Amino acid sequence: MDWSQPSSLMPLPEKRSFSKAVCSWKKTAIQKVVRFFHDMNYLIIGGNSDIATDVIARLTENGHAIHALVRSEEQAQELQSKGHTTTVGDATKEADIKQCVAEAKEKGDIDGILHCVGSIVIRPPHALNQDAFEEVITTNLTSAFLTLSIGGKAMLRQGEGRMVFTSSVAGSLGLVNHEAIAAAKGGIEAMVRSAAATYARRGLRINAVAPGLTDTKMASKILASDAMRDAASLKIPTQRISQKEEAASAMHWLLTDAPDNLTGQVLHLDGGMANVLV
């Protein structure tokens, strides 16, 4: 072998690829510096949920600006009393999402968007009519698509941005009587992967968090008694119910400090339920 010539078995990296990698690294470093020294602008769709409330508190503690879409004037006033701005509307309505994004942009570019909208419907298909099924799809998946479509368009004009969506362990694991929510959350996970591919080269980073059963107001009926909690915990490898702070911590990280190269991922916070057999 002629060692004076590059081997075809060990091709040297192309200068263009190396340059692109360096540029990407520089961009990430600059973004981290900007996030450290300047307030960022975040949009929360579903700002009244337990998990979203915790995320908002974490972002506020870091000095960031918050605009939230909520369902009622009472919820809006509560957030406004803490210095945040709000839009009262319905996450499943295109016009309301457009208004919300426009009002959020009045503060400047939107650095991150959290979609924290969901519902719990646990019924077998034979006990669920079409209207009930479509309501689950609309609440979870349609609202997520509208957030992606309208919020994503605003971020494309900026050239960068982070989006985090809320899925569920039911989106990847077959659970009894979860057919409707499985279809909705599974759709969100598939959409996140596809959107991450579509917008990766245009500066958008799109991920999801998939909590297992979490101790929130929404899950209060499922966790109404110690016996119900114990029964639910036995299905989880870690044998405990997730806490809202855990999901909020993951979402906050994805919105703020996650590596720029992280996109198209579903972060499972389910005590190993989706991937571990014990």
**What does the pLDDT profile of the chain (278 residues) look like in tens digits?**
554 454 444 454 455 555 555 555 555 555 555 444 458 999 999 999 999 999 999 999 999 999 999 999 999 999 999 999 999 999 999 999 999 999 999 999 999 999 999 888 899 999 999 999 999 999 999 999 999 999 999 999 999 999 999 999 889 889 899 999 999 999 999 999 999 999 999 999 999 999 988 877 776 677 777 887 777 787 888 888 778 899 999 999 999 999 999 999 999 988 888 887 77
Count of the separate structural domains present in the chain:
1
Could you tell me if residue 14 is inside a domain?
no
**What does R_g of the chain's alpha carbons equal in angstroms?**
21
Nearest to 164 by CA among 101, 200, 216, 116: 116
Could you tell me if residue 109 is inside a domain?
yes
Could you tell me if residue 30 is inside a domain?
no
Answer whether 54's CB lies under 8 Å from 244's CB. Answer: yes
Could you tell me if residue 220 is inside a domain?
yes
Could you tell me if residue 208 is inside a domain?
yes
Looking at residue 209, which CATH number applies to its domain?
3.40.50.720
Pull the structure tokens for residue 158. Answer: 């900026």
Nearest to 246 by CA among 50, 61, 13, 82: 50
Q: How far apart are CA 233 and CA 215, in angstroms?
A: 12
Nearest to 45 by CA among 242, 266, 198, 255: 255
Could you tell me if residue 243 is inside a domain?
yes
Could you tell me if residue 19 is inside a domain?
no
Could you tell me if residue 28 is inside a domain?
no
What residues make up the domain containing 123?
40-269
Nearest to 86 by CA among 71, 234, 36: 71
